[in-house]
Amino acid sequence: MKLIQTLVILVAFTLGTFMPSKPASALGDAGPIIAAITALQSAMNSVVQSTHKILNGSVVDGNNAMVKGFQQITNYTKAQVGAQEQLADANNMVNARLSRDVINAHIMDEHAVNRQDCLNLEGGQAAVVAARQAGDVALALDVTKNSRTRASRNTPSWVGAGQASQANNTLHFSKYCDDAEAEAGLCSLAEDTMKGADQNASSLLTPPVYADQKAIDRANDYETTLIQPVVPAAMRGNAITTPDGQQAMPGRRSYNAAISLAHNIGHDVLSWRAGTVTLTASQKAEAKREGITQTDVGSLWEATDLEVNRRYSGTDWQADLQAMPSEKSVLIQIALLDAQRNWLLWQQLKLQQKTALATVKRLAIEADKSLNRFSPLPVPNPQ
């Protein structure tokens, strides 16, 4: 607006300079003045119109340029949004594939069988088979020893106590003759490993597995020496037909029952070390690491011992445990260890039942001794 005012002033100044006004007559002739003003207005209008055209053109050009600029910015923005959408889609697709691959890998890990699972199963099966066969060994020994304890026919005590003692000595002299007995001329001195072996607890408890029949006999003879080296003479004939014999029979049966229980416990211990199972490959490897003589046939004791030791000190199990890909594999190992612990506790429970019977037998013996302090008891007179 200031530009227009300036232009008007310049035009008026120019016209006043080049077109001087004539002095007015006394009669007030206004024609020249009006003409000048008209010319001035026409010039001003022309200038204003020209200025408007120039300004309008400039504004239009500016507007057009701004519109084109905004359009270009809009196009850029649209293109940017589209590119971002494509990037987002690609990123989502990559993340989805990655998540799918992770899930698939996790599923594979969860369903993959670790080699230790197979080894544990083999070891457990070997222990169960060994336990069953060890039970058969103990049962066979029980049948033989129970017949001997009762002094049945075809046993030394059937003839008498002297024959029973001599039979025990004969067996001892033939296998386990020691220095004093050899010096007395009763027998030929046995080799060092057999000398007095029927009196050594190591004959029964030391070997993880009895290597041969000689080792089994040595363990069995120690168990016999420990519990009942000589069986009392059989009660038969007039020994059981007389009143005194009839009165003694219940006591003998109680004695036989106690000895039978004692033998059962001893046979249970012996059967754990009898060769009753073929060791697995992992058990053989553990036995070799421990310096145990390599054998294919093992015992329930040895198989269980090797299974426990290979997890406690075996590098293979430790390495596999560290390399297990998922929590499930580790949890399976823990579950298997719990299963093994439960199995051992079950074996312990069976032995505790037997030892509980032995305890109550001792209690019964003490009760009998206590009762004998008051014997003979008064007998009531029948009315």
Average pLDDT over residues 309-318: 81
pLDDT at 6 over 70: no
What pLDDT, on a 0 to 100 scale, did the predictor assign at position 144? 93
* Each residue's pLDDT tens digit, 144-166: 999 999 999 999 999 998 999 99
What pLDDT, on a 0 to 100 scale, did the predictor assign at position 120? 72
Pick from 5-14, 234-243, 254-263 the range whose average pLDDT is largest: 254-263
* 357 within 8 A of 261, measured Cβ to Cβ: yes
* Each residue's pLDDT tens digit, 163-220: 999 999 999 999 999 999 999 999 999 999 999 999 999 999 999 999 899 999 999 9
pLDDT at 80 over 90: no
Helices (H), 2-155: 2-18, 31-111, 115-149
pLDDT > 90 fraction of the chain, expressed in percent and rounded:
36
Contacts of 157 (CB under 8 A, 6+ apart): 148, 151, 163, 164, 230, 231, 232, 233, 234
CA gap 127, 308 in Å, rounded: 12
Q: Which residue has the higher pLDDT, 333 or 276?
A: 276
What pLDDT, on a 0 to 100 scale, did the predictor assign at position 375? 64
What pLDDT, on a 0 to 100 scale, did the predictor assign at position 26? 45
Number of H helices, E strands in the chain: 13, 2
Average pLDDT over residues 239-248: 89
Helix (H) / strand (E) element for 268: namely helix 243-272
CA gap 303, 191 in Å, rounded: 30
Average pLDDT over residues 239-244: 89
pLDDT at 27 over 50: no
Average pLDDT over residues 111-121: 69
Average pLDDT over residues 120-149: 87
Q: Tokens standing for 170?
A: 């004969």
Q: CA angle 264-265-266, nearest 5°?
A: 90
| Residue 174: Cβ within 10 Å count | 11
What pLDDT, on a 0 to 100 scale, did the predictor assign at position 109? 59
Amino acid symbol at 101: D
Residue 280 Ramachandran class (φ > 0 left, ψ -120 to 50 alpha, else beta): beta
What pLDDT, on a 0 to 100 scale, did the predictor assign at position 174? 95
Closest CA to 331 of 283, 343, 107, 339: 339
Q: Which residue has the higher pLDDT, 252 or 111?
A: 252
- DSSP bridge partners of 299: 275
* Each residue's pLDDT tens digit, 69-79: 767 777 777 77
Which region among 59-63, 75-79, 301-305 has the lowest average model confidence (pLDDT)? 59-63
CA gap 343, 176 in Å, rounded: 38
pLDDT at 264 over 60: yes
What pLDDT, on a 0 to 100 scale, did the predictor assign at position 121? 74
Average pLDDT over residues 29-45: 74
Closest CA to 219 of 176, 255, 180, 163: 176
What pLDDT, on a 0 to 100 scale, did the predictor assign at position 25? 46
